[in-house]
């Protein structure tokens, strides 16, 4: 099945205009069908029911999953599995980053060549604490850096209780997903990251 045929099949199933073009109407319907409007507690409970903690996924994803906080690992596996159930092949391609690695990314487009890829300096990214991962969509063995399927995977991730970078207001990062600790549910991102930095310095767990 081609990508165009896949999109048309999804549109037909959702009852929106079948034109093969994933516009706002299609994505709104996908989000409503998969996510809806649910309180955080209900979404998290649903995620706990959906997550399969024992089954491993592909080797590339597992290498990334191994770098994540143990509380985040099953969410990475569940996202791969749930996407696969909907005919979408994804793999985790980035997980934990050291402060040094974050500094190198932050320098791009500022003090080193290339476009800006992040607004987060060291200690200001969930990747630095093992709470975030990036995925890639694949068609067979071919990596697709740009695909409308990232939006579908975004909706699947939100259904699991993950935050999705495609919802960000500044640099939208559709491959990015992160898990917010329960203690930070009512905090701003800035306040949460400050607490995470403090916990890292003190050698404390990010979720306890």
The pLDDT value recorded for residue 60 is 97
The pLDDT value recorded for residue 7 is 81
The pLDDT value recorded for residue 142 is 96
- Under DSSP, is residue 132 helix (H, G, I), strand (E, B) or coil? strand
User: Is there a single domain that holds both residue 49 and residue 130?
Assistant: yes
For residue 181, which of 150, 201, 208, 156 has the smallest C-alpha distance?
A: 208
The distance from CA 139 to its chain's CA centroid, rounded to whole angstroms, is: 19
What residue numbers bound the domain in which 93 lies?
Answer: 35-202
Number of folded domains that form the chain: 2
Neighbours of 71 (CB within 10 A): 16
193, 123 Cβ separation under 8 angstroms: yes
Residue 207 lies in a domain: no
Q: For position 162, which CATH number holds?
A: 3.30.1380.10
Distances (CA, A) of 204 to 12, 33, 195, 199: 49, 39, 10, 5
pTM, to two decimals: 0.77
User: Is there a single domain that holds both residue 17 and residue 39?
Assistant: no
Distances (CA, A) of 140 to 20, 21, 79, 87, 137: 21, 22, 18, 11, 10
Could you say which DSSP state residue 94 is in?
Answer: E
Residues in the chain where the model's pLDDT stays below 50? none
User: Is there a single domain that holds both residue 176 and residue 79?
Assistant: yes
For residue 50, which of 24, 73, 71, 74 has the smallest C-alpha distance?
A: 74
């Amino acid at each position: 099945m081609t990508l165009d045929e896949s999109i048309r099949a999804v549109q037909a199933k959702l009852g929106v205009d079948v034109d093969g073009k994933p516009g706002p109407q299609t994505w709104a319907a996908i989000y409503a069908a998969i996510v809806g409007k649910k309180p955080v507690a209900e979404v998290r409970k649903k995620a706990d029911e959906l997550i399969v903690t024992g089954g491993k996924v592909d080797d590339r994803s597992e290498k990334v999953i191994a770098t994540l906080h143990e509380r985040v690992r099953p969410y990475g596996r569940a996202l791969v599995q749930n996407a696969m159930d909907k005919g979408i092949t994804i793999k985790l391609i980035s997980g934990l980053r050291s402060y040094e690695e974050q500094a190198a990314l932050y320098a791009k487009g500022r003090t080193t060549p290339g476009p800006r890829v992040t607004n987060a300096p060291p200690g200001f990214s969930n990747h630095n604490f093992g709470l975030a991962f990036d995925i890639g969509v694949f068609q067979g063995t071919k990596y697709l850096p740009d695909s409308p399927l990232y939006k579908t995977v975004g909706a699947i991730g939100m259904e699991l209780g993950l935050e999705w970078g495609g919802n960000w207001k500044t640099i939208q990062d559709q491959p990015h997903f992160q898990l917010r600790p329960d203690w930070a549910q009512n905090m701003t991102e800035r306040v949460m990251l400050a607490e995470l930095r403090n916990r890292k310095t003190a050698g404390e767990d990010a979720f306890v």
